């Protein structure tokens, strides 16, 4: 047996699958991480449920996209404030005592993250809505355009048939 084949045989016995190549964190560390994540993020379904419950949800929804994107559709009742204008206009449009939930287009865009950062730096409590407007529409929630309210059928890959994933 050569040195190369001996090394290959040893590696085969100690190889770890890609999921466990880096060991999971200790449970307490993992709990702290996931607890912190929930302090920074809200999902589309939770935001929609809070808005649908009626009354004041206790937060304001902020669309940080361009005017053209806003005009194509936005979450009903959202405030439109493009990220580039936050420093200049947030004080006129938002109450610092009310938490803000930001969104942009979708998971492939970090506009909501940049908007949340800008707001946090100005002293606002803020969360980012995971999935953005893309998942709002894909999950079948009503949205507004300049023509009125609309909704599309839920995408079966993103919204369970029962309307609730149970998580």
Cα gap 111→106, rounded to integer Å: 9
Whether 138 is covered by a domain: the verdict is yes
- Beta carbons within 8 Å of 71's beta carbon, 6+ residues apart: 145, 146
The CATH number for 134's domain is: 3.40.250.10
Whether 148 is covered by a domain: the verdict is no
Convert the pLDDT of each residue in 20-56 to its tens digit: 999 999 999 999 999 999 999 999 999 999 999 988 9
Number of domains in the chain: 1
Whether 24 is covered by a domain: the verdict is no
- Averaged pLDDT score across all residues of the chain: 90
Cβ atoms of residues 59 and 98 within 8 Å = yes
Convert the pLDDT of each residue in 58-117 to its tens digit: 999 999 999 999 999 999 999 999 999 999 999 999 999 999 999 999 999 999 999 999
Query: Range of 92's domain?
Result: 43-142+153-167
Cβ atoms of residues 103 and 112 within 8 Å = yes
């Amino acid at each position: 047996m050569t040195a190369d084949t001996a090394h290959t045989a040893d590696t085969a016995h100690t190889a770890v699958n890609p999921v466990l190549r880096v060991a999971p964190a200790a449970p307490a560390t993992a709990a702290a991480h996931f607890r912190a994540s929930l302090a920074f993020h809200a999902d589309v379904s939770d935001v929609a449920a809070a808005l649908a419950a009626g009354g004041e949800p206790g937060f304001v929804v902020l669309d940080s996209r361009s005017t053209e994107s806003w005009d194509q559709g936005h979450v009903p009742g959202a405030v439109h404030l493009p990220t580039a204008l936050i420093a200049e206009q947030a004080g006129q449009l938002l109450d610092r005592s009310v938490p803000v939930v930001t969104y942009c287009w979708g998971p492939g865009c970090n506009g909501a993250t940049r908007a949340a950062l800008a707001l946090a730096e100005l002293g606002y409590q803020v969360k980012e809505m995971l999935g953005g407007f893309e998942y709002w529409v894909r999950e079948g929630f009503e949205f507004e355009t300049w023509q009125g309210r609309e909704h599309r059928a839920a995408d079966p890959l993103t919204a369970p048939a029962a309307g609730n994933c149970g998580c």
